[in-house]
Structure 1
Amino acid sequence: MTAAAEPSFPPATARQWRRSEEARGLALISPTFLYALALLFLPVLIVFLYSFWTQDYLTIDRTFTLKNYRQALGEPIYQDLLARSLYISLTVSVITVVLSYPIAWFISFHGGLNKNFWLFVITIPCWTSYLLRVMSWKVILGYQGVMNTGLMKLGIIEQPLTSLLYNANAVIITLVHSWAAFAILPIFISLEKIDRSLIEAAADLGDGPIRRFFRIVLPLSMPGVISAFLIVMIPTVGDYVTPQLVGGKEGVMIASAIQASFGKAANWPLGAALSVTTMVIVTLLAGAIVLGLRLIVRGIR
C-alpha cells in the first residue's frame, strides 16, 4: 500500500492504521490483484489498441481508424461466421444445461452416500486431453465409425451416412459432451444449498412433485443454471479446435477467421477487431440472457 493511497490521518493514526487488519489485508491481496490485472487487463488492452490500427505486411500503422470494425461488421463472411458461432454456442449451452440438470438433480437428491463417487465418475472424462476427446467423436461419427457401423448392423441404414461428421451438428454434439461436466457441477452445488425443509413444507401443504419442482427447486437452483449456461456459452463461442477437427466447411466458427487474421493473413488489427467485436457481442448477449432468466424466475415465484 503506497503512502499516496493511505487515508489522510495524523502520523500516529496513520501508523495505527498500517497495523490494522484492513491494511494487512490490502497488503496481502495487492500483489495478487496486480498480478491478475497484468495477466487479464493488459492483454485485452493491447488487443483493443491493435483493433484501431492498420497493418501492411509487417509494418503497423498506429493511425487511428475504424476500418477494421467496418470490415468485421460489414463483410458477409464475418457476419455469417459470427452468427453461426452464436447459434452453435447457444444451442450447445441450452442442450448441455437441459441434459445436465437431471443428472445434477439425481446426484443431489438421490445420491445418498455415493454423491462423491458420482461426481468422481462425471469428472473422469476431463482427465484426458481435450484434443483426445474431440478425436474420439471423430471416430464415433466417421464414415466407418461406431455410429454408422452400429446402425448398419441393426438394419436401420443400408450404407454409411455422410451427414454425421463435418457439419455444425457434429460440432454441437462434441461440444455438449466436452462441457457437460462443467455444467453439472455448478447446478449440483446450487441444488445442494437448497433447504430440504422448504420442500417438505410444500409437500405438507399439498404441492405435488412437479409443483414443488417449479415453485421451489428450480427457482432456488437458478443461480447454478445461470452459471452453467455462461460457463458453457462463453468459451464455446471462441472454440477453435472442435470446428477444425469435426466441423468441416459447415462448422467453421469465428475463431478460425481470427486465427487466420493473426496467422496466414498477417493482419493483426483485423484479427483484433474481430476479437473485440465478438467479445462485446457475447458480453451483451450474456447480460441479456442473465436478465431474462432472472425475470423468468421472478415470474415463476
Structure 2
Amino acid sequence: MTAAALPSPNATSEHRRRLFGAAMMLPGALASLVLVLFALGAVLALGFRRNDGTLAGAGFTLDNFAAALGDPLYGAVLLRSLAIAGLVTLATVATAYPVSYYIAFHAGRRRGLILFLVTLPFWTSYLLRVFAWKIVLAFNGVLNSALLTSGLTAEPILAFLNTPAAVVVTLAHAYAAFAILPIYVALDTIPRSLLEAAGDLGARPFTTFRRVVLPLSMPGVLSAALVVFVPTVGDYVTPALVGGPASTMIGSIIQAQFGKADDWPFGAALSVLVMLVILAVVLAARAGDRRWGSRT
C-alpha cells in the first residue's frame, strides 16, 4: 500500500470525532425513541380503538375522531384554549422583551444576578406558584385587601379570580423565564459593532432598535413565543385552580376523559387533534423564523 492510499491523520481524527459525537447522541436518541415516539404512537393507536373497558380496545374505529370533530363544544373549547394561549404568549413576550433587553445591554456586572433572580421562581413547585396567585387574586386575597386598605374600593372585587384573565396572568408569570432566556440569548449575540455603525451613520437610538436590534432578535422572540404557546394550550392545572367555567381549556377535557369519564380512546383522539393544531402552529413559527432569518 502506497503512502497516498493511507488515511491522513486529519481524516482519522475527524472520523473519531464523528464516532464520539454519535456515541454521545445515542443515549438521548434512544430515550427520545422509547419515551417520546413510542408514547405518541401509543396515543395515536389508542385514538382508533373502541372504548370497551380495556386498554387495548376491540378493533379500529373512526368514531372517536368523528365525535370530536362533529361536536361543536370541543371546537369551541379548543378555540378558547388557543385564544388564552395566544394572550398568554403575547403578554409573556411583551413583558419579557424589555427585561431581556436590559440584561443584554444595560445590566453590566449585574447580569448574572438578574439571570439568577429570573430563574429563582423555578426553585419552587409549579403548583405552589399557582396557589400563590390564587391567594393574591382571591375574594379576600392580597389584591383586594390592598385595594380596600388604600380606599380605592369600598368592597372586594369578584372579577379577579375564576376568570380567563386570572388564567392569563398566572400562566404568563409561570412561563416568564421561558420567554426571557431565549430573547436574551438572541439579543446578547447581536454584534455591538452593528449598533456602533448605526450610530456613526446618524441613526437615533429608536431607529437603531427598530432597524437593527428588533429584526436580529426576532428569531429569539419567535422561539420564546413557541416555547410559551405550546405547553399553555394543553394546560389544565391552572384553569382548574384559578379559572372558572368560562376558562375551561381543552386540556381539562382531555384530563377528564382519562380520569372521571374513563374513556381513554376518546381522550387520545382529542389529544391527537390538539397535537395536529400545535404542529400547524410550530410549522408556521418555523416559516416565520426562516423569513426573519433571511433578513438578518
Work out whether the TM-score is over 0.5: yes
Q: How does 1:76-225 map to 2 (within 5 A)?
A: 76-225=72-221
1:160 CA drift (Å): 0.7
- The residue type paired with residue 150 of structure 2 is L
For 2:273, the equivalent position in structure 1 comes to 277
- The residue type paired with residue 127 of structure 2 is L
- The residue type paired with residue 79 of structure 2 is A
User: In structure 2, the residue corresponding to 1:250 is in which secondary structure?
Assistant: helix
Q: Indicate how the Cα distance of structure 1 residues 32 and 146 shifts in structure 2: closer, same or farther if over 3 A, else same.
A: closer
Q: How does 1:262-301 map to 2 (within 5 A)?
A: 262-292=258-288, 295=291
Q: How does 1:237-256 map to 2 (within 5 A)?
A: 237-256=233-252
- The residue type paired with residue 137 of structure 1 is W
For 1:30, the equivalent position in structure 2 comes to 26
Whether the 8 Å CA contact 1:261–1:271 is kept in 2: the answer is yes
User: In structure 1, the residue corresponding to 2:175 is in which secondary structure?
Assistant: helix
Whether the 8 Å CA contact 1:58–1:266 is kept in 2: the answer is no
Q: Indicate how the Cα distance of structure 1 residues 59 and 116 shifts in structure 2: closer, same or farther if over 3 A, else same.
A: closer
User: In structure 1, the residue corresponding to 2:245 is in which secondary structure?
Assistant: coil
Q: Indicate how the Cα distance of structure 1 residues 186 and 65 shifts in structure 2: closer, same or farther if over 3 A, else same.
A: same
1:297 CA drift (Å): 7.2
Structure 1, 51-60 or 32-41: larger mean CA deviation: 51-60
User: In structure 2, the residue corresponding to 1:227 is in which secondary structure?
Assistant: helix
Give the Cα–Cα distance (whole angstroms) in 2 for the partners of residues 132 and 190 of structure 1. 31
User: In structure 2, the residue corresponding to 1:159 is in which secondary structure?
Assistant: coil
1:23 CA drift (Å): 3.9
Q: Indicate how the Cα distance of structure 1 residues 297 and 158 shifts in structure 2: closer, same or farther if over 3 A, else same.
A: farther
Give the Cα–Cα distance (whole angstroms) in 1 for the partners of residues 92 and 125 of structure 2. 20
- The residue type paired with residue 123 of structure 1 is T
Task: Report the RMSD for the aligned CA atoms in angstroms.
Answer: 2.2
Question: For each residue in 1:9-41, what CA deviation from the matched residue of structure 2 results, as whole angstroms up to 9, or x when unmatched?
Answer: xxxx9xx99x94234543443343122211110
Q: TM-score, structure 1 length as denominator?
A: 0.89
Q: How does 1:50-69 map to 2 (within 5 A)?
A: 50-58=46-54, 60-69=56-65
1:290 CA drift (Å): 4.0
For 1:7, the equivalent position in structure 2 comes to none
Give the Cα–Cα distance (whole angstroms) in 2 for the partners of residues 186 and 162 of structure 1. 36
Q: Give aligned-pair identity as a percent.
A: 45
For 1:43, the equivalent position in structure 2 comes to 39
1:110 CA drift (Å): 0.4
Q: TM-score, structure 2 length as denominator?
A: 0.90
- The residue type paired with residue 281 of structure 1 is V
Structure 1 residues without counterparts, runs of 5 or longer: 1-12
Structure 2 residues without counterparts, runs of 5 or longer: 1-6
1:292 CA drift (Å): 4.1
Give the Cα–Cα distance (whole angstroms) in 2 for the partners of residues 51 and 218 of structure 1. 43
- The residue type paired with residue 261 of structure 2 is A
Q: Indicate how the Cα distance of structure 1 residues 294 and 28 shifts in structure 2: closer, same or farther if over 3 A, else same.
A: closer
1:260 CA drift (Å): 1.0
